[in-house]
Amino acid sequence: MSSYSNTNLSQSFGSINSHIVDDDIVHLDENIHEQDFLDKLENSKPLSKMISITKHIPDVDVDGHPDNDVDSGDSDHLEQQSLFASQSAKSASMGRTASRVLSHLIVGESNQSHLDDDDYHEVPQGRHLGLFSTTIIFVSRIIGSGIFSSSAIFINCGGNPMLYFIVWTVATFFAIFGLYLYLEFGCLIPKNGGTKNFLERSFDKPKNMTSVIFGIFSVLTGFITTSAIVFARYMLSLMGYPLADNRIVNLLGGLTVVVATLIHGLHMKKGVQIQNLLGIFKLFTIAIMIITSLIVLFVPGILSKNLNDDIEWPPFFEFETNSLYSFSQLPAAFIQALYCFSGWSSIHNNTAEIINPEVTIRKAGIYSLAMTFLLYISLCFAIIKVLSYQEIADSGSLLGYFFFKKIYGEHIGGKFVTLTIALSALSNLFVCLFGIGRMNQEIFRNGILPFSKTLAKNYKNSPLNSLLVGGLMTLLLLLVTSSSGTEGNDEDSSNAYTYIVSVESYYNQVILFFVVIALYIYRKKNKAKGRPDAPIKSFETGNIFLVMLSLYLLLAPFIMKDDSAMNNINGFPPYNYMAVYMIFVCFLYWLIKFELLPRIFKYNLVCFNEFLEDGLKIQTWKKMPRD
């Protein structure tokens, strides 16, 4: 251990030589006063690509190594030494100072990644997202493919308008409370990664378990399948093939994913410009939706004289008489509605790229949710006023197409508005892929998965390899869920779409439940360290609401079994079981790699910080033999 430490330190810090006594990594005392030496050391050229050595480096313990005390006279002795001391000056004080520097590269018990100073580690991309770009990301991510393909929500409400209204209202409050929950956490931990960082910093024991489970599951579910399916389906409808075979739909969706991945990966700025342009189209689409919906709700005769005679409100408090409703479908309705709001948390994956993130994210989030609420409420009720229960049930992922076709006719509603919806789905695809690339890169930076170092690398300031992983996961899922047939069959992309939404949303509820708990744990830790509270506070009653609703949505599917064909897909377990199985597989990976194998083969996994050529900090794991 001694020879390895000295060799590694010599390579890292040039001519500075150190001696670590008794083959032990000494415990590092926060009260060491060798500041003159460290001030010179941190400004030396070999450290130019490393983070600054602060005056308060936290204690680090490595399993199996005893603590050593620091002599009070060490600082006086150290002040008399120059920065580049000769090898004859290998005193115990220098050994302790070297160990203090070396500890900055080694992880101890913590599950986090790893030092609080890393919260302010600037990424190579720099801060380039202002209020407009952030709002576009919010809007494009929230208002995506879900709202235009939300027929399953109304069906899972049994065609009851009152229950439908309750579901959307609850989902809106859920999004508002969740937004402020993440805003507070984002102020406390202002770095890329969002949810990953929140959970790691709070649940740091068992060691590495949180990072591994969340990281692997996020990579496995880092896909944009739903947006790809909706974009392809609407584009084919625009070309006159609304009932195109599902394999053709998935093929077109897959090609779109490949193009979007290459644009974001090879030309980051161009990708952001394209998603901003698509976001402007989306704002135009939203304006059309809101105006049309309000006219349909209050003065439908303006659009068409015949339209006023063809539409009517369904009984507000009654269930659809042609179907036997089971309340076991209600959790699925909530989960699918929450999916339509799910983008409010994704912006925190890009915190380190946002200019003045505290103010920017708060303003952009409020503007976006207000716009979203107005759109969803007006559009959803306009749909149930214009379309019958059976028309909604048969629409599949083309709900928006049939709605606007009935209002504006084949030429305008069937072509122009369909194009705007397709562009809206494409905007969502670009924005989701942008966030997935950043999230994957943060996970690969932790080094917990094979080939993490390669996958974490940037290409022209863009996480190309991380984006390729997200694109590959999307293509695989499109391939697995592809089947012959068209909309309306039992085995179609419509069922696959709903099933994928349910699995992803169920897992998100698991994560959100633990994020609420994590906030209170981290508040306590933050206070114990004497740090100030976040400038933005979440709602206490809102946090209670999030916990209660999350528990209901997580437990209800197991208590009330949902056998409806809409929420299941042949050959796969129910969505709630599928999510649990995937979490369990991630847990097994952690158990085997970080617990069982080290104990069986008697080694410790020790984490080292490493810097890539562009200055991006990553972590690599080394096997160290036990004594």
pLDDT in tens, 273-317: 898 888 888 888 788 888 988 988 888 878 776 666 667 777 888
Give the mean pLDDT of 184-194.
Answer: 81
Question: Taking 90 as the threshold, does the pLDDT of residue 588 lie above it?
Answer: yes
Q: Which of 69-83, 500-514, 578-592 has the lowest mean pLDDT?
A: 69-83
- Lowest pLDDT segment from 69-78, 453-462, 511-520: 69-78
Band (pLDDT 50/70/90 cuts) for residue 118 is low
Length of the chain: 627
State how far the alpha carbon of 281 is from the alpha carbons of 229, 275, 286, 288, 603, in Å. Answer: 19, 10, 9, 11, 56
Closest CA to 499 of 515, 483, 516, 511: 483
User: Helix 575-590 crosses helix 493-528 at what angle (to 10 degrees)?
Assistant: 50
Contacts of 627 (CB under 8 A, 6+ apart): 64
Looking at the predicted structure, is the pLDDT value of residue 78 above 50? no
CATH among 1.20.1740.10, 1.10.630.10, 1.10.10.60, 3.40.1280.10 for 122-560 = 1.20.1740.10
Q: Quick one: average pLDDT of 23-37? A: 38
- Does the structure show a pLDDT above 80 at 23? no
Residue with tokens 């796969």: 572
610 bridge partner residues: 618
Identify which of 55, 59, 53 has the alpha carbon closest to the alpha carbon of residue 29: 59
Over residues 493-532, the pLDDT tens digits come to: 456 777 887 888 888 888 899 999 999 999 998 888 888 8
* Predicted confidence (pLDDT) at residue 169 exceeds the cutoff of 80: yes
Question: What is residue 619's three-state secondary structure?
Answer: strand
Q: How far is CA 603 from CA 112, 592, 617, 621, 626, in A?
A: 21, 13, 25, 12, 5
Inform me whether the pLDDT recorded for 59 exceeds 60: no
Q: How far apart are CA 206 and CA 582, in angstroms?
A: 19
Q: What would the DSSP string read from start to end of 202-240? A: H---STTHHHHHHHHHHHHT---HHHHHHHHHHHHHHTT
Could you tell me the maximum CA-CA distance found in the chain, to the nearest angstrom? 98
Q: For residues 354 and 127, is the Cβ–Cβ distance under 8 A?
A: yes
**What's the CA gap between 378 and 603, in Å, rounded?**
61
- Pinpoint the residues of the chain covered by CATH 1.20.1740.10: 122-560
d(CA 288, CA 479): 34
- b vs e for 131-165, b when ≥16 Cβ sit within 10 Å of the residue's Cβ? bebbbbbbbbbbbbbbbbbbbbbbbbbbbbbebbb
List, as one string, the DSSP characters of 499-562. Answer: HHHHHHHHHHHHHHHHHHHHHHHHHHHHHHTTPPPPSS---HHHHHHHHHHHHHHHHHHHHS--
pLDDT of residue 181: 92
At 425, list the tokens: 């789905």
pLDDT digits (tens, 9 = 90+) for 374-391: 888 888 889 888 888 888
Sorting pLDDT into bands at 50, 70 and 90, what band is 587?
very high
DSSP-derived letter for residue 315 is P
- Residue 473 pLDDT: 92
- Specify the range with the lowest mean pLDDT, choosing from 40-54, 157-171, 430-444, 606-620: 40-54
Q: Tell me the three state secondary structure of residue 603.
A: strand
Compute the distance between CA of residue 225 and CA of residue 496 in angstroms, rounded to an integer: 10
Quick check: pTM over 0.75? no
H-state helical runs in 68-208: 74-79, 92-103, 131-142, 151-156, 161-188, 195-202
On the CB side of 518, CA atoms within 13 Å amount to: 26
